[in-house]
Amino acid sequence: MFNIDTFDLNDWFSRCDMESVSDWDDKLKECEFFFNSLAIETERNKFRWLVSAFLNSAYSFFESTALTAYFRYTDPESGEPYEDIEGLAVLRKHVKITQNQNNPDYVKTTGLTPITKQLYEIRKKNTHHCSLSIMVAGASLPEDFHFGNMRGEGIPVMPLCREALTLIQKVYAEINA
């Protein structure tokens, strides 16, 4: 159990590697990194892996941003965390957020808008069912890569990922304005 009387703050600071702590915008940067990488990849398997990483980072952005919003501020008198109501309102325009009442550190998000529903559904299938199926639908790669395996029925990958990244950047900017 934690005891403030025996806690040595100097010892804690001397042992803590502050460079290992990620910046607030790390999840945004992660999404941008994977998008920028897949935007120039023309080899199908490498592209597929980068899309998988992008989908997971986008999902993680919404999950971690929601969790952060629940504990973003601290009451100066009690030391207790409290919600970023405005940040949660921004997120709730795009994802449904459920906080586990028995374990408040556990937050779950679900797609709410057409783009987030599609993003979450593709990610869920890729994570829990099978690897992504990526088709070449034309000569202009990576723009002509499509999700799916039935010719003429695929979903263009780049526009979906581009729209998702634009949304993530917008949400981040609104919450951190």
Each residue's pLDDT tens digit, 106-141 = 999 999 999 999 999 999 998 888 899 999 999 999
CA distance 134 to 77: 54
CA distance 171 to 177: 10
Write out residues in the chain with pLDDT < 50, as ranges: none
pTM of the model: 0.86
From the number of C-beta atoms within 10 Å of its C-beta (0-12, 13-18, 19+), residue 54 rates as: buried
How high is the pLDDT of residue 78?
84
How high is the pLDDT of residue 21?
60
How high is the pLDDT of residue 14?
74
